[in-house]
């Protein structure tokens, strides 16, 4: 019996510009979902080679001229500050859909193109050494053209259960919110560890409490999960803490302002 290896109707031919953390995870996840990665271009050819080695039949692409590509969708998974230059230098055929994967950059970067462009943004942080549960990653899709939009949605749904249309304006707001919830929260951990380091106490002591606090905030609602001296209006403890921080004006100011913000938010 002959077995014909036919391309399944859902399977999409995809090429990548970029071979960093996002491309690394996305390309492999797309392949695992039944799609075909054809080409990988990177300004660092070694990175493109390393990624191609993890893929079944992808080839390293040496330039940004995609005029003869067999791909149907080209994903631009490059650093935010390289995206504009890449888009300027791309040579694309009409039939190719191009989408960037950036959370920070507007779809307006593509305005030189007629219609076949979009955004395909996985809202997650990726590191090469660490597996990601891709089916739980929210995918934020944007495309002015209805057919392009539908194709990007269908593609994202082969990876994740959480696919949503998000405009560039909404993506900007998501980014501001993520700076608060992720970047700034992380910095508070840094300051917390710094306080403990100063007294030779291990940050490990606080980790179970941090994990439990965050799980509570995410499972109920952060406002309802708020604890501590500020929300209790415990001015005695607040004064003691500010006094303890008197030799560290940066931490003292942050303590003061976040305490005020909790007090104001509560009312």
- 79-138: contacts with a copy of itself (CB under 8 A): 81, 104, 123-125, 127, 130, 132-133, 136-138
| In the complex, least distance from residue 111 CB atom to a copy of itself, rounded to whole angstroms | 19
Contact status: 235 vs a copy of itself (CB under 8 A): no
Round to whole Å and give the CA distance between 263 and 241.
16
Lay out the sheet containing 163-165: strands in order across: 59-61, 36-41, 13-17, 73-76, 97-100, 117-122, 139-142, 163-165
Give kind and range of the element (H or E) at residue 238. helix 235-244
Task: Give me the residue label for tokens 């080209």.
Answer: 74
Contact status: 244 vs a copy of itself (CB under 8 A): yes
| In the complex, least distance from residue 167 CB atom to a copy of itself, rounded to whole angstroms | 10
Residue from the set 10, 67, 70, 190 that interacts with a copy of itself by CB under 8 A: 190
If the CB atoms of residues 10 and 261 are measured against a copy of itself, the closer one turns out to be 261
| In the complex, least distance from residue 194 CB atom to a copy of itself, rounded to whole angstroms | 8
| In the complex, least distance from residue 231 CB atom to a copy of itself, rounded to whole angstroms | 8
Residue from the set 46, 91, 147, 185 that interacts with a copy of itself by CB under 8 A: 185
Give kind and range of the element (H or E) at residue 165. strand 163-165
Which string of x and - marks every residue 16-55 that binds a copy of itself (by CB under 8 A)? ----------------------------------------
- Bridge partners, residue 121, by sequence: 140
- Bridge partners, residue 140, by sequence: 121, 164
Contact status: 164 vs a copy of itself (CB under 8 A): yes
Residues 74, 50: contact at Cβ < 8 Å? no
Strands 73-76 and 139-142: unpaired
Binding footprint of a copy of itself, residue count (CB under 8 A): 87
If the CB atoms of residues 65 and 215 are measured against a copy of itself, the closer one turns out to be 215
Residue from the set 8, 68, 176, 267 that interacts with a copy of itself by CB under 8 A: 176
| In the complex, least distance from residue 120 CB atom to a copy of itself, rounded to whole angstroms | 15
Quote the tokens at residue 50: 């390393």
Q: CA distances (Å), 178 to each of 19, 104, 174, 260, in order?
A: 24, 11, 6, 22
- Bridge partners, residue 84, by sequence: none
Quote the tokens at residue 69: 């590509």
- Segment contacting a copy of itself by CB under 8 A, of 3-11, 59-67, 143-151, 183-191: 183-191
Closest CA to 37 of 59, 14, 54, 18: 14
Region 202-221 residues binding a copy of itself, contact defined as CB under 8 A: 204-214, 216-218, 221
Contact status: 255 vs a copy of itself (CB under 8 A): yes
If the CB atoms of residues 111 and 221 are measured against a copy of itself, the closer one turns out to be 221
Contact status: 182 vs a copy of itself (CB under 8 A): yes
Residues 28, 55: contact at Cβ < 8 Å? yes
- Segment contacting a copy of itself by CB under 8 A, of 4-12, 92-100, 147-155, 235-243: 235-243
């Amino acid at each position: 019996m002959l077995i014909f290896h036919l391309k399944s109707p859902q399977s999409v031919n995809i090429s990548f510009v970029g071979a960093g953390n996002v491309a690394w995870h996305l390309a492999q996840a797309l392949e695992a979902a039944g799609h075909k990665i054809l080409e990988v271009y990177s300004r660092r050819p070694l990175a493109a080679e390393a990624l191609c080695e993890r893929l079944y039949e992808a080839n390293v692409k040496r330039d940004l001229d995609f005029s003869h590509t067999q791909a149907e969708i080209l994903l631009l998974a490059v650093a935010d500050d390289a995206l504009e230059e890449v888009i300027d230098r791309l040579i694309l055929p009409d039939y190719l859909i191009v989408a960037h994967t950036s959370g920070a950059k507007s779809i307006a970067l593509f305005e030189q193109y007629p219609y076949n462009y979009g955004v395909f943004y996985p809202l997650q942080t990726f590191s090469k050494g660490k597996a990601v549960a891709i089916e739980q990653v929210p995918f934020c899709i944007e495309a002015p053209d209805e057919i392009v939009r539908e194709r990007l949605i269908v593609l994202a749904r082969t990876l994740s259960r959480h696919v949503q249309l998000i405009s560039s304006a909404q993506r900007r707001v998501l980014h501001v919110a993520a700076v608060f919830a992720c970047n700034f929260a992380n910095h508070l951990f840094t300051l917390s560890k710094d306080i403990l380091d100063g007294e030779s106490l291990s940050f490990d002591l606080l980790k179970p409490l941090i994990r439990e606090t965050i799980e509570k905030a995410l499972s109920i609602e952060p406002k309802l999960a708020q604890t501590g001296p500020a929300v209790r209006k415990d001015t005695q403890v607040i004064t003691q803490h500010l006094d303890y921080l008197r030799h560290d004006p940066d931490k003292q100011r942050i303590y003061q302002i976040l305490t005020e913000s909790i007090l104001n938010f509560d009312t």
